[in-house]
């Protein structure tokens, strides 16, 4: 047990560990992300699945993501919330967006400035808990990420029922029969 804690304490001293976990320093370039998250349920108890039924619709989300500029750097922005999930109950969603600057692999001769992170990419992770348990992820380029990623994540609270969230760029239009939800 003592070895475990000593090993854990020494992790930041290992080469590459700390730099891969570091965040860009304040004042560096940032990306503003703005969109919506909506929750829904889907009945799959019959021969096929019905269209998803909205639960909480068009909840705005705004994130500010630092952009790493050196190989091995990463940055993260996160948001979480609890959403209605129809008859399934409540669903908690945590959204994390990572910006990653990969190692160039060329040794110490790596360029400085924007060229140093020409291969920057992004990862979106959505973790669901509560009414449904799920983990979903997507790796995206800058054009797919901005102004907001479009991703769906769902789990099955019970056989024949799905509950999930959708990250979307534009507000969903609600039909005349649907109640407006916060």
Quote the pLDDT of residue 74: 95
Q: Is residue 19 part of a domain?
A: no
> What distance in Å separates the CA atoms of residue 43 and residue 26, rounded to the nearest whole number?
46
Q: Is residue 164 part of a domain?
A: yes
> What distance in Å separates the CA atoms of residue 137 and residue 123, rounded to the nearest whole number?
7
CA distances from 86 to 58, 154, 162, 179 (A): 16, 14, 10, 13
Q: Is residue 148 part of a domain?
A: yes
Q: Is residue 146 part of a domain?
A: yes
Domain residues for 128? 30-168
Q: Is residue 18 part of a domain?
A: no
pLDDT in tens, the chain (182 residues): 444 333 434 333 333 222 223 344 444 799 999 999 999 999 999 889 999 999 999 999 999 999 998 899 999 999 999 999 998 999 999 999 999 998 865 555 555 555 678 889 999 999 999 999 999 999 999 999 999 999 999 999 999 999 999 999 999 987 654 455 44
Q: Is residue 134 part of a domain?
A: yes
Quote the pLDDT of residue 69: 86
Please tell me whether the overall predicted TM-score, pTM, comes out greater than 0.95 for this model: no
Q: Is residue 131 part of a domain?
A: yes
Quote the pLDDT of residue 118: 80
Q: Is residue 25 part of a domain?
A: no
Cβ–Cβ contacts within 10 Å for residue 108, how many? 4
Q: Are 55 and 49 in contact (CB under 8 A)?
A: no
**Three-class SS of residue 133?**
coil
Overall domain count for the chain: 1
What is the DSSP track for 55-79? SS--EEEEEEEE---STT-EEEEEE
């Amino acid at each position: 047990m003592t070895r475990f804690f000593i090993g854990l304490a020494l992790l930041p001293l290992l080469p590459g560990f700390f730099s891969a976990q570091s965040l860009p320093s304040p004042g560096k370039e940032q990306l503003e992300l703005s969109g919506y998250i909506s929750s829904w349920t889907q009945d799959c108890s019959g021969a096929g699945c019905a269209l998803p039924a909205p639960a909480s619709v068009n909840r705005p989300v705004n994130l500010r993501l630092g952009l790493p500029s050196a190989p091995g750097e990463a940055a993260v922005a996160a948001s979480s919330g609890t959403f209605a999930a129809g008859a399934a109950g409540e669903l908690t969603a945590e959204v994390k967006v990572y910006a990653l600057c990969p190692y160039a692999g060329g040794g110490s001769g790596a360029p400085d400035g924007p060229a140093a992170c020409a291969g920057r990419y992004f990862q979106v992770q959505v973790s669901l808990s509560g009414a449904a348990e799920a983990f979903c992820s997507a790796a995206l380029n800058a054009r797919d990420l901005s102004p907001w990623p479009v991703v769906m994540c769902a789990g099955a609270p019970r056989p024949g029922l799905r509950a999930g969230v959708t990250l979307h760029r534009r507000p969903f239009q609600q039909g005349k029969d649907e109640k407006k939800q916060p």
